[in-house]
């Protein structure tokens, strides 16, 4: 019997396949594009297309498609066969570099906000070499960006890639100031925890609201809810376990790093979490995960609901976007190290995130805005609509010491003693977890907890990458011209803490007193609905920031 190691990624044209099937010089050129963001050498495309085709044909594929993410929130694909007629009446199987690089879907039939009219139909998809091609069924799927005839982005991948580029550019400026001359790229990475409901299909078919809208709109409260908390981490039922096992197999074949699975708090609610990967690939993988979850469920007589609106007294499903930034040399820039007070580089990147979340709380809120998620926010297990950050006791104490120019006493490690000699002893973490916080620091990453279950994670990461890039740009502009780097750095960190400490809150986000304090004392925004927050996309400060980093054009934002 094959082990997971044997078949993991078997349906992906990944680095192993490229190395085995491409000439060495072509492989190195493509790797430079993928790893360092170098401009793609167009001559590489013909070699890659031929190798992809031969690999796909051996896997039984008959078609290829440019797989893209329009503004519908789901993916799109148009299939073309590899066949080309031959003079003898038969066919040959062909796939060229031109077909790999460019496709032409109908741009006026997808949401465009007025960029495309019905009589202006031409649009383009273009190969994204940073995300591996894969086989789904009998089709070779090529991840692509999608744009209009005039070059305007009509998808979520293009601005996401632009935001990653902006973050890398500004991060490298900061790293150079700290003497790092070897890093070539800084990449944001994500691990989105995906929650979902499983409902027997025969029961789903009896519910018009579930069939028509995908969520509960009416009905009596279930006789057994989550009062006893006995479902959370409980024994997984055989029918659900069989579903999870097949789901894992299908995800692993596509190179998706499915890692953790368990029962969630609400009855019939479950969660799947992957290992971290780059934000672009993680976004592609999450879209695939949601699609495959629903397909596999039907094979087991179940329906998978990505159900954000909660039942009365029962959780709705969310998606926790665990976000961090690292260099191509493997250094996590949000890792405090043993002594965060002395780690000036970490503190500057931390301050960049604090400033970004405070300055652009409206963009983060609107990045998760949907009708279903509006109902979920502030309900069981979901953070409120007010944006705040949780840093924990240790980092909070560090920042207070810097702001007040006083020595930091440090946090003594506490050894956990459970009163049973046979149990191993271990050190307690220096900070607790806060599940009511929208944006919580969890060791070497931030957990953005506001996303709804069916949300694409692209929007949240576009805004997060862009806002942090803006903070870093402001810091780099000042520090590059400073006569005394050390004192300028200290003053900048101190000023950020003083100016933006209002966004830091380590308490209970569900407390009515906090909402009162957040809005009336601290001046934080509280956009309860999509209609409240969405117009702020066009606030002058937001347009200026997003266009200056070339993440969006003004026309794209208006659309």
| Residue among 198, 275, 210 at smallest CA distance from 238 | 198
* Cβ 108 vs Cβ 120: under 8 Å: yes
Section 349-362 average pLDDT? 97
* Cβ 154 vs Cβ 143: under 8 Å: no
The secondary structure element, H or E, covering residue 90 is none
Helix 393-403 to helix 485-500 angle (10° resolution) is: 120
DSSP string of 168-187? HHHHHHHHHHTT--S---EE
HSE-CB of 554 using CA atoms within 13 angstroms: 6
Section 301-316 average pLDDT? 83
Q: What is the pLDDT of residue 101?
A: 93
Section 356-364 average pLDDT? 98
* Cβ 330 vs Cβ 475: under 8 Å: no
Give the predicted TM-score (pTM) of the model: 0.94
Which of the given ranges, 369-378, 509-518, 531-540, has the highest pLDDT on average?
A: 531-540
Higher pLDDT pick, 526 / 431: 526
| Residue among 407, 352, 201, 195 at smallest CA distance from 289 | 195
Contacts of 16 (CB under 8 A, 6+ apart): 9
* Cβ 372 vs Cβ 364: under 8 Å: no
* Cβ 225 vs Cβ 313: under 8 Å: yes
Distance CA 235, CA 414 (A): 32
Q: What is the pLDDT of residue 213?
A: 86
In the structure encoding, which two tokens stand for residue 16, read together?
Answer: 């192993």
Q: What is the pLDDT of residue 191?
A: 95
What digits encode the pLDDT tens for the residues 41-87? 888 999 999 999 999 999 999 999 999 999 998 999 999 999 888 88
Helix residue ranges, H only, 178-311: 201-204, 208-213, 238-253, 279-299
Q: What is the pLDDT of residue 375?
A: 87
Measuring CA to CA, how many Å separate 314 from each of 103, 217, 220, 338? 45, 13, 12, 40
**3-state class of 120 per DSSP?**
coil
Residue in the block written with tokens 């990453």: 445
What digits encode the pLDDT tens for the residues 147-197? 999 999 999 999 999 999 999 999 999 999 999 999 999 999 999 999 999
Distance CA 96, CA 395 (A): 54
Residue 299 φ then ψ, to 5°: -65, -20
Measuring CA to CA, how many Å separate 96 from each of 44, 91, 101, 334? 11, 16, 9, 43
Q: What is the 3-state secondary structure (H, E, C) of 317-345?
A: CEEEEEEEEEECCCCECCCCCCCCCCCHH
DSSP state of 69: -
What digits encode the pLDDT tens for the residues 401-458? 888 888 776 666 666 665 666 657 666 666 677 778 999 998 899 999 999 999 999 9
Contacts of 422 (CB under 8 A, 6+ apart): none
Distance CA 304, CA 195 (A): 10
Q: Is 18 exposed, middle or buried (0-12, 13-18, 19+ CB in 10 A)?
A: buried
Please check the confidence at residue 204 and state whether its pLDDT lies above 80: yes
Please check the confidence at residue 133 and state whether its pLDDT lies above 90: yes
Percent of the chain with pLDDT over 70: 95
Q: What is the pLDDT of residue 357?
A: 98
All domains of the chain in start order, with CATH: 4-155 (3.10.20.70), 162-216+228-413+426-558 (3.30.590.10)
In the structure encoding, which two tokens stand for residue 347, read together?
Answer: 């503190």
What digits encode the pLDDT tens for the residues 475-496? 999 999 899 999 999 999 999 9
Please check the confidence at residue 329 and state whether its pLDDT lies above 90: yes
Q: What is the pLDDT of residue 412?
A: 64
Q: What is the pLDDT of residue 251?
A: 97
Which long-range contacts (C-beta less than 8 Å, at least 24 apart) are formed by 417-426?
A: none
Query: Worst-scoring range by mean pLDDT, 30-34, 183-187, 377-381?
Result: 377-381
Q: What is the pLDDT of residue 92?
A: 84
Q: What is the pLDDT of residue 226?
A: 72
For the chain, the average pLDDT equals 91
Other residues' Cβ atoms within 10 Å of the Cβ of residue 124: 19
* Cβ 172 vs Cβ 291: under 8 Å: no
Helix 458-480 to helix 485-500 angle (10° resolution) is: 140
* Cβ 504 vs Cβ 389: under 8 Å: yes
Q: What is the pLDDT of residue 342?
A: 72
Q: What is the pLDDT of residue 411?
A: 62
DSSP state of 378: T
Section 212-232 average pLDDT? 78
Contacts of 100 (CB under 8 A, 6+ apart): 45, 48, 49, 52, 127, 142
Please check the confidence at residue 143 and state whether its pLDDT lies above 90: yes
**3-state class of 131 per DSSP?**
coil
**Hey, what's the torsion of the CAs at 36, 37, 42, 46, to 10 degrees?**
60
In the structure encoding, which two tokens stand for residue 139, read together?
Answer: 């089709």
Percent of the chain with pLDDT over 90: 72
């Amino acid at each position: 019997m094959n082990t997971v190691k044997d078949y993991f990624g078997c349906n992906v044209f990944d680095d192993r396949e490229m190395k085995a099937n491409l000439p060495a010089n072509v492989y190195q050129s493509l790797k430079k594009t993928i790893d360092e963001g170098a401009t793609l050498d167009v001559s590489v495309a013909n070699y890659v297309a031929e190798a992809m085709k031969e690999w796909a044909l051996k896997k039984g594929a008959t078609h290829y498609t440019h797989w893209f993410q329009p503004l519908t929130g789901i993916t799109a694909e148009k299939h073309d066969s590899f066949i080309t007629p031959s003079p003898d009446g038969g066919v040959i199987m062909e796939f060229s570099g031109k077909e790999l690089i460019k496709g032409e879907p109908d741009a006026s039939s997808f949401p465009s906000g007025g960029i495309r009219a019905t009589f202006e139909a031409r649009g383009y998809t273009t190969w994204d070499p940073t995300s591996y091609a894969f086989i789904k069924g009998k089709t070779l799927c090529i991840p692509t960006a999608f744009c209009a005839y005039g070059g305007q982005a009509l998808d979520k991948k293009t601005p996401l890639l632009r935001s990653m580029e902006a973050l890398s550019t500004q991060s490298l400026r900061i790293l150079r100031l700290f003497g790092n001359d070897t890093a070539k790229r800084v990449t944001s990475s994500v691990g989105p925890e995906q929650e979902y409901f499983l409902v027997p299909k025969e029961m789903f078919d009896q519910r018009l609201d579930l069939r028509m809208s995908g969520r509960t709109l009416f009905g009596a409260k279930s006789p057994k809810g989550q009062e006893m908390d006995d479902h959370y981490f409980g024994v997984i039922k055989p029918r659900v376990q069989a579903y999870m096992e097949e789901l894992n197999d299908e995800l692993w074949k596509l190179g998706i790093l499915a890692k953790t699975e368990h029962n969630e708090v609400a009855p019939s609610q479950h969660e799947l979490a992957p290992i971290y990967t780059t934000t672009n690939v993680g976004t592609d993988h999450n879209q695939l995960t949601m699609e495959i979850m629903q397909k596999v469920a039907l094979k087991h007589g179940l329906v998978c609901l990505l159900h954000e609106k909660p039942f009365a007294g029962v959780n709705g499903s969310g998606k926790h976007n665990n976000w961090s930034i690292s260099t191509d040399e493997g250094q996590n820039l949000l890792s405090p190290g043993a002594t965060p007070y002395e780690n000036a580089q970490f503190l500057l990147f931390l301050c960049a995130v604090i400033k970004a979340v405070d300055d652009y709380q409206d963009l983060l809120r609107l990045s998760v805005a949907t009708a279903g998620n509006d109902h979920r926010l502030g309900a069981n297990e979901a953070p409120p609509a007010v944006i705040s950050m949780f840093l924990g006791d240790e980092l909070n104490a560090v920042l207070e010491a810097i702001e007040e120019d006083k020595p930091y006493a440090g946090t003594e490690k506490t050894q956990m003693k459970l009163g049973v000699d046979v149990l191993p002893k271990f050190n307690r973490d220096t900070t607790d977890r806060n599940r009511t916080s929208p944006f919580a620091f969890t060791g070497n990453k931030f957990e953005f907890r506001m996303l709804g279950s069916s949300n694409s994670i692209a929007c949240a990461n576009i805004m997060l990458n862009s806002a942090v890039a803006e903070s870093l740009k402001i810091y780099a502009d000042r520090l590059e011209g400073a006569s005394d780097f050390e004192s300028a750095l200290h003053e900048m960190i101190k000023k950020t803490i003083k100016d933006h400490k209002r966004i830091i809150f380590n308490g209970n986000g569900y407390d009515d007193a906090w909402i009162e304090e957040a809005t009336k004392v601290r001046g934080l925004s509280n956009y309860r609905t999509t209609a409240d927050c969405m117009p702020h996309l066009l606030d002058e400060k937001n347009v200026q920031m997003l266009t200056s980093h070339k993440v969006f054009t003004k026309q794209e934002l208006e659309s």
